[in-house]
A = this chain, B = another copy of it.
Amino acid sequence: MISFEEFKRLDLRIAQVKSVREHPGADKLYLMQVDLGKEVRQLVAGLRPYYRPEQLEGKKIVVVVNLEPATLRGEKSEGMLLAAQHDEDVVVLVPERDLPAGSPVL
């Protein structure tokens, strides 16, 4: 169990995927540039087995924006996108209707 205060420490935002390219050093990872409204960040995400770049580009997704940055196989990741998993499939979370990039998740 976690408290509501713990949950509220998490900063989740709507982000728009600007571009997606293959991580040069990891065959399951993408390097994604995402627009958070006031800034663009790079995410490293393990979506390559599940999505083609053009299925992600332009899409509004959900990103944890206050996670400590990580370096994954030599590439900086400045956030983590949310995706659900079932069996061998992974599906990104999206807002049910369109919202501007940067919109907070309550």
Contacts and interface: CB of A to CB of B under 8 A. Distances in A.
Residue from A80, A84, A103 having most chain B Cβ neighbours under 10 A: A84
A26 interface: no
A84 B91 contact: no
Contacts of A93: 62, 82, 93-96, 105
Contacts of A7: 10, 64, 67, 80
Contacts of A82: 12, 62, 93, 105-106
Given A1-B66, A2-B9, A7-B80, A86 B100 contact: yes
B106 A83 contact: yes
A106 B90 contact: yes
A-B interface, 3 closest residue pairs, ranked by CB to CB distance from nearest: A86-B103, A91-B95, A94-B96
Given A59-B96, A82-B93, 11 more contacts: A2-B9, A4-B67, A7-B64, A7-B80, A62-B93, A86-B99, A86-B103, A89-B99, A91-B97, A93-B96, A94-B94
